A = this chain, B = another copy of it.
């Protein structure tokens, strides 16, 4: 019998890829377990349902991102009374790109999954949104402080567009014309800078 943590992680890893490629509804549990080399009932034993499996995949990827984002934001807050827009956006975006770049093998899969889970039909989309809620709120608050002349409404849709851009960069990661092409630290640095350079002027306008 395969060790437990391997079974669970195997299922999550295969599910991550298939959910990314086919979406939630288009991915069958039978295809997941077939590729993971485990039994169909294992999904229900370990995760309880297809939806909880999806949640497990989201959590594995999103938690470290959100933690890192919040840590960077806190550091910003302590270093500067009024951080720059560029610094805030970097704190927001970089963890998202860094995590993708951990492994060439999983770069595209993770990127696609990140994009996928934010565009899924409900109730799946909410699963991901909840995981990012703390980060969303913290960054909106910081932006409001830095840009007090903008209405909350304005900040809201601009923030939304920043996230949309991030999703797109993730979705295209690893492609020939993509902003994030590789997994070197320099690749992440460049991609983050260029994305911030694209978005910051619009945030201020």
Task: Indicate whether A63 reaches chain B with its CB closer than 8 angstroms.
Answer: no
A contact patch SS: helix
Q: Which of B158, B163, B168 contacts A160 (CB 8 A)?
A: B168
Please tell me which one of the listed residues B156, B167, B202 contacts residue A198 in the complex, with CB atoms under 8 A apart.
B202
Are B168 and A164 interface neighbours, CB within 8 A? yes
Task: Note all chain B residues with C-beta closer than 8 A to A165.
Answer: 161, 164-165
The residues of B that contact A199 with a CB separation of less than 8 Å are 202
Q: Return A127 CB to nearest CB of chain B, in Å.
A: 15
Mask: chain A, 149-160; 1 = CB below 8 Å from B; 0 = not = 000110011101
Known contacts A157-B177, A172-B160, A177-B156; A21 and B121 CB within 8 A of each other: yes
Contacts of A160 in B (CB 8 A): 168, 172
Chain A: interface residue total (CB-CB under 8 A) = 38
Interface residue stretch chosen among A2-10, A22-30, A97-105: A22-30
Tell me whether A115 and B121 are in contact (CB under 8 A).
Answer: no
- A residues 149-205 near B (Cβ < 8 Å) are 152-153, 156-158, 160-161, 163-165, 167-169, 172, 176-179, 197-203, 205
Q: What residues on B are CB-neighbors of A179 within 8 Å?
A: 157
A25 CB contacts on chain B under 8 angstroms: 22-23, 25-26
A131 at the interface (CB under 8 A from B): no
* CB-defined contacts of A164 to chain B, threshold 8 Å: 164-165, 167-168
Q: What 10 A-B pairs come out closest when comparing CB atoms?
A: A201-B201, A164-B168, A198-B202, A25-B25, A25-B26, A119-B119, A156-B177, A23-B121, A164-B164, A157-B179
List 19 additional contacts besides A22-B25, A25-B25; criterion CB under 8 Å: A22-B121, A23-B23, A23-B120, A23-B121, A24-B26, A26-B121, A115-B119, A119-B119, A153-B177, A156-B177, A157-B169, A160-B172, A161-B169, A197-B205, A198-B203, A199-B202, A200-B202, A201-B202, A202-B202
